[in-house]
Amino acid sequence: MKSKSEYFYLFLSVIVLSALAALYLVFGRNFGAYQASTQTANSREISTTEEELSPEEKQLMELENALSDLENTPSNEKLVALQDQVANIADQTKKDELQKRLDTASTELANQTAAETAVVNAEGYRILYNVEVAQAAINLLTSAEKKAELQQRLDVVSTAIQSTYSEQTTLAVSQQ
């Protein structure tokens, strides 16, 4: 036979479940309708906003997207193409802002090229000076992915130089 406390908790559970069901029926259905109407209104706002943009504003948006792409994956071809587009912008403040971003991307591209060349040089001519030059070039990079890739390649060269130096030192000591 069940005790009084079990009946009490059963009764309390039924009341809580009933209250939750009532709350769902009252507010749950309306909330879903509210979300749907909000999404519809937002989509109407976005479509009217895009229609209201002038050709110059659309060009600026496209240029900013292309510049963001250049900042993520720098290449000389993209840089030259964007430089011409930035030069043709009429709004001087916007032109200066985009030119500053373009200059930063250009500097990063030059630094990546220099670091790549320095690492290739260190891989080809395994001397400590080349490793130090490559390390200095890698330290100038801001792209974490490129920096990690080149650092890993340079670490292999550095380890090879250290092991060669260690073997030569051991050999020289044993011959004495």
For 18, residues 6+ apart whose C-beta sits below 8 A from its C-beta are none
Same domain, 17 and 73: no
Percentage of the residues of the chain whose pLDDT score is greater than 70: 80
Asked if 48 and 63 sit in the same domain, the reply is: no
Q: Do 66 and 48 share a structural domain? A: no
Task: Tell me the pLDDT tens digit for each residue of 123-157.
Answer: 988 888 888 999 999 999 888 889 999 999 999 99
* Same domain (yes/no): 63, 124: yes
Domain total of the chain: 2
Q: Are residues 121 and 41 in the same domain?
A: no
| pTM summary value | 0.59
pLDDT band, residue 5 (cuts 50/70/90): confident
* 159 in the same domain as 91: yes
* Residue 102 CB burial class (10 angstroms; 0-12, 13-18, ≥19): buried
